[in-house]
Amino acid sequence: MAYNKFHDGPGPSQRQLRVGELIRRTLSDVLLRGDVHDPDLNRISVTVGEVRTSPDLKVATVYVAPLGGEGQDQIIELLARNKSELRRAVSKQLTLKYAPDLRFRLDETYDRMDETRAMFAQETVRRDVEE
């Protein structure tokens, strides 16, 4: 089994990756269609970037971002408020032994990409890279 140099121990299993992707697609569809009965949540377009599951598949950490970056402070609160309904929608679509507990986190991948681009645009860094 391959080891990830950024984390202790082995990386996620194929099953964890597959189930995480299925949960990501299901949540994306549910949020896109507005199946949640919360008008505040349905007003915001949410991007589900990634879902990481625990080894026993009982916990799913969902990384989300509001489309356009507007409302980052309230998106996690809205999703947490509707967690049981979202969990029910996921369990209805997927045939898992347990419906995973959903934990929502802000997806900061795009922010880190912008910071990396800005760093590479600096004259001193560009000069070092070109050498």
pLDDT per position as a tens digit, 97-131: 888 999 999 987 765 555 666 666 667 767 776 76
| Distance of alpha carbon 110 from alpha carbon 72, whole angstroms | 13
Q: What is the pTM of this model?
A: 0.75
Q: Is residue 29 part of a domain?
A: yes
- Rounded to the nearest 5 percent, the helix, strand and coil shares of the chain are 55, 20, 30
CATH number of domain containing 98: 3.30.300.20
Q: Is residue 63 part of a domain?
A: yes
Q: Is residue 1 part of a domain?
A: no
pLDDT digits (tens, 9 = 90+) for 32-45: 998 889 999 888 88
Q: Is residue 6 part of a domain?
A: no
- Please enumerate in sequence order all residues whose Cβ is within 8 A of that of 52, keeping only pairs 6 or more positions apart, or say none: 12, 16, 20, 60, 61, 63
101 bridge partner residues? 59
**Residue 38 sits in which domain range?**
14-130
